[in-house]
């Protein structure tokens, strides 16, 4: 779904908690990206659950994943990927990601197309999912390498990314999206003075 740049958006770097009532999408020009307001709400929730969070959050949605660098309650930069949408088309029934496939594509992302073709021909959904996640991690390496990492999404996705990152020696913290959304909404109400709790 294409969105018009500049309409109802804020440009990063930007504070996660907006100064007014309007929770806008975040955009950046290089690389071109759009972080939708619902994902921004999750990041507000994260920074309330984990005070003074400095690190990277990977928000895994239904169509895109977003790697967001956070410092001092600001989204500094982000990079987005179509991994969830591609997985929904290529491996809709995969309940888990194959760790070996993820490692192969992380170390050799240039082979992704042929690896996907082989996994598709053999009907190996977990391998397809693993290859997609591995290629994403290869491209997002500057975001997660040596960083504090939070994974936000539904359990299936969080566990798939967690396993692939653990194989690289990265410790991550996983968060359920619904809980962070509730915390983010509470933070917005408190900022507006609508909730004394």
Return the domain boundaries, the chain. Answer: 9-191
Q: How far is CA 167 from CA 19, 57, 100, 106, 176, in A?
A: 40, 18, 9, 11, 22
The answer to whether 111 and 145 are in contact (CB under 8 A) is no
pLDDT at 7: 56
Tell me the per-residue pLDDT of 55-103, one tens digit each, with 9 for 90 and over: 999 999 999 999 999 999 999 999 999 999 999 999 999 989 999 999 9
Among 118, 79, 121, residue whose Cα is nearest residue 101:
118
Range of lowest pLDDT (14-23, 53-62, 72-81, 130-139): 14-23
Rounded CA separation 44/70 (Å): 10
For residues 127-144, average pLDDT? 98
**Sign of the alpha-carbon dihedral angle for 101, 102, 106, 111:** positive
Q: How confident is the model at residue 4 (pLDDT cuts 50, 70, 90)?
A: very low
Res 6 pLDDT > 70: no
The answer to whether 34 and 80 are in contact (CB under 8 A) is yes
CATH classification (class only), 9-191:
alpha beta
* Mean pLDDT of all residues belonging to the chain: 93
Q: What percent of the chain has pLDDT over 70?
A: 93
């Amino acid at each position: 779904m294409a969105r018009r740049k500049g309409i109802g958006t804020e440009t990063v770097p930007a504070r996660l908690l907006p100064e007014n009532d309007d929770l806008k999408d975040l955009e950046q020009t290089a690389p071109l990206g759009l972080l939708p307001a619902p994902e921004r709400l999750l990041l507000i929730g994260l920074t309330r659950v984990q005070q003074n969070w400095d690190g990277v959050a990977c928000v895994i949605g239904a169509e895109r994943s977003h790697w967001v660098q956070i410092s001092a309650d600001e989204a500094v930069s982000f990079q987005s990927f179509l991994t969830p949408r591609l997985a929904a088309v290529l491996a809709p029934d995969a309940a888990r990601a194959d760790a070996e496939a993820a490692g192969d594509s992380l170390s050799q992302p240039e082979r992704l197309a042929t690896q996907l073709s082989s996994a598709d021909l053999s009907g190996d959904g977990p391998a397809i999912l693993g290859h997609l996640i591995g290629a994403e991690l290869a491209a997002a390496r500057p975001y997660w390498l040596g960083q504090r990492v939070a994974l936000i999404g539904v359990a299936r996705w969080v566990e798939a990314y967690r396993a692939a990152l653990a194989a690289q020696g990265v410790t991550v913290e996983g968060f359920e999206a619904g809980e962070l959304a509730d915390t983010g909404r509470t933070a917005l109400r408190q900022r507006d003075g609508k909730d004394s709790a």
